[in-house]
Structure 1
Amino acid sequence: MGMGIDGLTSGLDTTAIINALIAAESRPQTLMKGKVTSDTALVTAMQALNTKFASLTTQAAALAKPGGLDMYQATSSSDAITAKLGSGAQSTSLDLSVNKLAQAHSVVSAPMTEWPATPAVMTFVKTDGSKTEVTAETGSLDDMAYAINHSAAGISAVKIASGKDAVTGATQYRLQLTAKDTGEANAFTAHQGSIADVDAGTSTKLTDAAGSAVLRTGQDAKVTLWAGTAAEQSITSASNTFAAIAPGIDITVNKLSADPVAVSVSRDAGKVTAAAKDLASAVNVILGSIFTQSTVTAGSGTDGSASAKGGLFTGESTISDAKTKLFSSVTTPVNGLSPASIGINTTKNGDLAFDADAFAAAYAKDPVATEKMLQTIASRVADTAKAISDPYDGALSQRVKGQQSVIDDLNTQIVDWDTRLTNRRASLQAVYTNLEVQLSKMQSQQSWLSAQISSFDAAASKK
C-alpha cells in the first residue's frame, strides 16, 4: 500500500474524502449491525420467556400427575406427642397412650482420687452380652474418661468433683457414665477389669462400690394403641421417635400421657389452595410479561410529529399464539363447568384473578371434584407450556433458534464487510497517493518548462 501524503501537492483533505467514501459504502454494514442489536434483544427476551414456560411446565405437570394433589397435614391433640408427615401419607386417625419415654442408661461411680487398680482397665457389657474393653494410659481419672470417650463402647464419661476425702483431705471425683444412645439395648454394666476378668467372674461391678449408683436404667419409649380394647397393642422404640407408625407419619413422644392422644392425618385444604394460587400466579407472570413487551407506546419524532414504538414482542405471531393458547388452557370449561366455579377468574386485562375463598369453599363442598378440575387445568397448562418450550420441537424454542441463525448470518456478513471495507480503504489510499505523486511530477515539469521558457525569453531580449 502506498504512503499517503494528505494534500501535500493537491491541497485536498484526502483522508476526509476517503473516510466519507468509506462511510457511504459501509451503510449496509451499519444497518446490519443495528439489526443484530435489535434481534439480539429480541432473542434474549424470548429466551427469558421460554425459561418461564419451561418452569411452568414442571410446576403444572407436578400437580397434574396422579397423587400430585395428595397434600396432607398431621395434627396431635396433645403436646405429649408431636406428629410429622413423611412420604406416602394417607388419611388416618390413631389414639395412642404414652407409657414410657426413652432414656439413656447412666451410672455414677463411688468417690475416688484415681483409678483403684493397675492397670486401669474397664469392661462394658451390653444387654445383648457384647463386651468392650477400655484401657487408660494411666490411673488418672482424666485418662480413663478420655479412653472411654474415644472407645467403641458408645458411652460418654465425665469426671465430676465430689468433695474431700474425710481422712486424707484429698480432692475426690466421680465418673459419670452415660450411654450415647437411648434405649434398652444400649443399657450396660460397667466392670473394673478386663474382658478375661469378666468372663472368669473375678471383675468388680462399678456400681457394687459404696456410694455408687445406677442413675437411670436404659429403656425404650412405649406407646399403646387402642388402649382398653381387645385390639390393644404396645409398640416400643429405642428413641422417642416412632418412624412410620402409620403410612407417611412419624411421631415423637415428649411426655407421659395415660389419656389417649389423638393423632390424625388429613388432607390439607390450605396447601391445595396455595398450589392452585401458585399455578394461576405463574400463568399470570407469563401473560403479563408478554403483554408488557407487546405494548405499543406513543412518542414523537425528531421533527415533533407523532410516532408509535412497538415492544420487543409486537408483531411476533409465535408469542401471540403462545399467549392465546396458554390463556385458553386455563379458562376453557372442564366438563361444561367454568374454572370460575373453583375461583379461577378472568379479568378485563386478559389475565387471571384467583379467589382463594371461592376455591376453599368449592374444596370444602366437594374436594374430589375440585381436585379433579384443578388437575385437568394443570394438565392442559403443562401440555401447552411443553409444546411451546420443549427444547427440541417447542414453538418458541424453534423461533429462538431461527432468529439466532439470522443473527449468526448477519455477524458473518458484518465480518466480511470489515474485510471488504479494509481493502476498499487501501485501494482509495493508493489512488489518492498516486494522484499526489502524479500532481507533484506535473508541477515539477511545469516548473522546468517555465524555467526554459524564461531562459529563451532572456536570450532573445539580448539580441
Structure 2
Amino acid sequence: MGLSIDGLISGQDTTTLINNLIAVEAIPQTLLKGKVTAAQNYTTAVQGLNTKVAALADTATNAAKPASYDLYTATSSSSQVTATTSTGIAAGVIDVTVGRLAQNQVTVTGPLTTWPDATLTLTNAAGTATVITPASGSLDDVVSAVNTAGLGITATKVAVGADGFRLQFSSNASGAAAGFSLTGSTVSTVAVKPAQDAQVTLWAGTSAAQTITSATNTFADLLPGLDVTVTAVSTSPVTLTVTRDDTAITAIASGLVTGLNDIFALISTKSAVSTSTDSAGKTVTTAGLFAGDSTVRAVNQNLLSAASMPVDGHSPSEIGISITKTGTLEFDATKFAAALAKDPAGVMKTVQEISGRVATAAATASDKYDGTLTNTITSQESQVRTMGLEISDWDLRLTAKRTSLERVYTAMESQLGTLKSQAEWLTSQVASLPDVYTGSSSS
C-alpha cells in the first residue's frame, strides 16, 4: 500500500504528481494493451470466418458424393398404401392390389378354473413341438410357464364372468410362419384369428398377375429401394410412383451457393473501410479487420475460383451458377431446373465437381491442424499470450516505480519539515536577541 502525504509540508498534490509521472512511464504498456485488444478482435473475427468455412467444407464434401443425389419421392394413389424410399431407389411406377393383411394368431380355450392336464404342448408352424410343464394346475402357473418358455407366444388369463376364465394364446409376430397349435391337452380351443401373411397382387387382372406375400404389412424393396406398407384390403389397383426429387437436388446446389455467399459477405463486411467524426469534428477513417489481409483475401479468391471455374469445358453459369459484379455468386433456380430436366446426369455431375473443388478449398483454409486460417488464429493467440506476459512485466515495473517515487516524495516532505523546523527555531532565536544601541549621545 502506497504512502499518502499530500501537501503536509510543501502544499503540493504529490499523489496526482506521482500518478501523472506513472502515466507517462506507462505509455509503452498502454500501447501494448491497445495491440492486445486489436489482436483479440482480429482473432475473434478470423475464428468466426473459420467456423463458416469449416461448415462449408462439410456441406460441400457431402454434396460431392454421388449418393447424395439419390433423391427420390414416392407417392401413392391411396392413403391405405404408403411408400417410403431407401438406399438404391430408382424412378418407377407400379400398381398393386391388396388381397389381405398380415395378422398374429390368436387362439382361446374354453371356460376354465384350473388346467386339467399336467402338461401342454405348443407346436410351431415348422412342426417343432415343445412340451410345457406348469408348476401346478393353476391358470396363473400355466400363463407363467408359457410366457417364460421363449416360444414367441404370449398367454393371458381372461376373466369371462360366471364361466370363470379362458386362456388366450397369441403369437408375438404376425405372419403364417409365426403360427402354432396347442396339443396334448384335453382342453378345447378355438382359433379366433389365424396366423396370416399379407398379400398383394401386381398387375392384377392380366396374364402377368403376380402374388407376393409378407409376414408383416410391409413389403420391402417392392421396387429397388421402395418399401410399401398396406393398411387395408383394396378392391382396385393402387398406383405407386417414384420420381426424382428435383426440389431436393436443387436445394443442394442452392445451399452450396448460399454457404459461399455467407462467407463472401462476412469477408466483405470485415474488409470495408468506414469513416466517422471524432469529438473535435475531424473525420476519422477506420479500416476493417480484414482490410489488406492476404490470407483472408486468398481464402475468398480460392473459394470463388472453385465455384466458378469451368467443368469439362462448360461454365457453371450454364446451369444457373454465376458470378455477380460484386464478386459473389448468384443461383438461378429457373435456369437450374431447366438444365436438370434436360440433362439430369450432366447437371448432377457438374454440381458434384464444383462441390468437390469447394470442399478442397474450404478444407485447405479451415483444417483444424494446418488450415491457413487455423494457423493464423494460432499465431495470433501466441502473440496475445506473449504481449500479456509483457504487460504483466510492466505492471511489476510500474509498481516498483510508484513505490520509488512515493519514497522520494515522502523523504522530500520529511526534509522540508526538518528545514521548516530549523527555520522556525532560528526565527525564534533571532527574535529573542536583546536590542543593541549603536548610536552616540551629546552633552
Residues matched between the structures, number? 436
Residue from 359, 363, 366 that aligns with 1:386:
363
Residue from 270, 277, 302 that aligns with 2:247:
270
Given the superposition, is the C-alpha separation of residues 381 and 81 from structure 1 closer, same or farther in structure 2, using an over 3 Å criterion? same
Query: Using the alignment, how far apart are the partners of 2:27 and 2:42 within structure 1?
Result: 23
Query: Which sits farther off after the overlay, 1-10 or 397-406?
Result: 1-10
Give, in angstroms, the shift of residue 412 of structure 1. 1.5
Deviations 1:160-189 (A, max 9, x none): 454545xxxxxx443433222112222222
Given the superposition, is the C-alpha separation of residues 443 and 147 from structure 1 closer, same or farther in structure 2, using an over 3 Å criterion? farther
Query: Using the alignment, how far apart are the partners of 2:279 and 2:137 within structure 1?
Result: 96
Given the superposition, is the C-alpha separation of residues 253 and 309 from structure 1 closer, same or farther in structure 2, using an over 3 Å criterion? same
Given the superposition, is the C-alpha separation of residues 353 and 146 from structure 1 closer, same or farther in structure 2, using an over 3 Å criterion? farther
Give, in angstroms, the shift of residue 126 of structure 1. 2.3
CA contact (8 A) 1:125 1:190 kept: yes
Query: What is aligned with 1:169?
Result: none
Deviations 1:66-104 (A, max 9, x none): 433222233445445422222233445555554442110
Given the superposition, is the C-alpha separation of residues 187 and 412 from structure 1 closer, same or farther in structure 2, using an over 3 Å criterion? same
Say yes or no: does 1:187 pair with 2:152: no
Unaligned runs of 5+ in 1: 166-171, 192-197, 208-212
Query: What is aligned with 1:67?
Result: 67
Give, in angstroms, the shift of residue 107 of structure 1. 1.7
Say yes or no: does 1:204 pair with 2:169: no
Query: What is aligned with 2:103?
Result: 103
Given the superposition, is the C-alpha separation of residues 259 and 11 from structure 1 closer, same or farther in structure 2, using an over 3 Å criterion? same
Deviations 1:331-388 (A, max 9, x none): 2333443322212233344322322222111111111111122122212211221222
Given the superposition, is the C-alpha separation of residues 439 and 234 from structure 1 closer, same or farther in structure 2, using an over 3 Å criterion? same
Secondary structure of the 1:88 match is: coil
Give, in angstroms, the shift of residue 33 of structure 1. 1.5
Residue from 171, 174, 185 that aligns with 2:166:
174
**Aligned pairs for 1:244-255 within 5 A:** 244-255=221-232
Normalised to the residue count of structure 1, the TM-score between the two structures is: 0.83
Secondary structure of the 2:181 match is: strand
Given the superposition, is the C-alpha separation of residues 130 and 270 from structure 1 closer, same or farther in structure 2, using an over 3 Å criterion? farther
Query: What is aligned with 2:122?
Result: 124
Give, in angstroms, the shift of residue 232 of structure 1. 6.8
Query: Using the alignment, how far apart are the partners of 2:196 and 2:92 within structure 1?
Result: 29
**What amino acid sits opposite 1:126 in the alignment?**
N
Deviations 1:139-165 (A, max 9, x none): 3x6776577566634334455454545
Query: Which sits farther off after the overlay, 98-107 or 345-354?
Result: 345-354
Query: What is aligned with 1:316?
Result: 293
Residue from 128, 151, 154 that aligns with 2:152:
154
Residue from 374, 393, 397 that aligns with 1:397:
374
Query: Using the alignment, how far apart are the partners of 1:48 and 1:147 within structure 2?
Result: 65
**What amino acid sits opposite 1:12 in the alignment?**
Q
Normalised to the residue count of structure 2, the TM-score between the two structures is: 0.86
Query: What is aligned with 1:338?
Result: 315
Given the superposition, is the C-alpha separation of residues 133 and 22 from structure 1 closer, same or farther in structure 2, using an over 3 Å criterion? farther
**What amino acid sits opposite 1:204 in the alignment?**
T
Deviations 1:247-305 (A, max 9, x none): 43322233335766554544322211111111111111111222222222332121113
Query: Using the alignment, how far apart are the partners of 1:446 and 1:124 within structure 2?
Result: 127
Query: What is aligned with 1:115?
Result: 114
**What amino acid sits opposite 2:73 in the alignment?**
Q
Secondary structure of the 2:434 match is: helix
Deviations 1:393-419 (A, max 9, x none): 322222222222222221111111111
Deviations 1:10-64 (A, max 9, x none): 2222211111111121122122222212221221111111111111111112121
Query: Using the alignment, how far apart are the partners of 2:314 and 2:265 within structure 1?
Result: 26
CA contact (8 A) 1:4 1:430 kept: no
Query: Using the alignment, how far apart are the partners of 2:377 and 2:215 within structure 1?
Result: 59
Query: Which sits farther off after the overlay, 21-30 or 434-443?
Result: 434-443
CA contact (8 A) 2:73 2:85 kept: yes
Give, in angstroms, the shift of residue 245 of structure 1. 4.4
Given the superposition, is the C-alpha separation of residues 177 and 29 from structure 1 closer, same or farther in structure 2, using an over 3 Å criterion? same
**Aligned pairs for 1:360-371 within 5 A:** 360-371=337-348
Given the superposition, is the C-alpha separation of residues 82 and 3 from structure 1 closer, same or farther in structure 2, using an over 3 Å criterion? closer
CA contact (8 A) 2:53 2:365 kept: yes
Query: What is aligned with 2:352?
Result: 375
CA contact (8 A) 1:132 1:152 kept: no
Residue from 398, 418, 421 that aligns with 1:441:
418
Query: Using the alignment, how far apart are the partners of 1:239 and 1:460 within structure 2?
Result: 139
Secondary structure of the 2:416 match is: helix
Query: Using the alignment, how far apart are the partners of 2:428 and 2:420 within structure 1?
Result: 12
Query: Using the alignment, how far apart are the partners of 1:151 and 1:30 within structure 2?
Result: 82
CA contact (8 A) 1:69 1:272 kept: yes
Query: What is aligned with 2:434?
Result: 458
CA contact (8 A) 1:182 1:239 kept: yes
Query: What is aligned with 2:83?
Result: 83
CA RMSD of aligned residues (A): 3.2
Query: Using the alignment, how far apart are the partners of 2:135 and 2:213 within structure 1?
Result: 36
Deviations 1:210-267 (A, max 9, x none): xxx2111112223455678898765443222233445433222333357665545443
Given the superposition, is the C-alpha separation of residues 443 and 87 from structure 1 closer, same or farther in structure 2, using an over 3 Å criterion? same
Query: What is aligned with 1:38?
Result: 38
Say yes or no: does 1:240 pair with 2:223: no
Query: Which sits farther off after the overlay, 406-415 or 362-371?
Result: 406-415
**What amino acid sits opposite 1:27 in the alignment?**
I
Give, in angstroms, the shift of residue 136 of structure 1. 7.1
Query: Using the alignment, how far apart are the partners of 1:257 and 1:380 within structure 2?
Result: 51
Deviations 1:303-340 (A, max 9, x none): 11333333332332322232233223222333443322
Given the superposition, is the C-alpha separation of residues 185 and 130 from structure 1 closer, same or farther in structure 2, using an over 3 Å criterion? farther
CA contact (8 A) 2:116 2:186 kept: no
**What amino acid sits opposite 2:166 in the alignment?**
R
Say yes or no: does 1:428 pair with 2:408: no
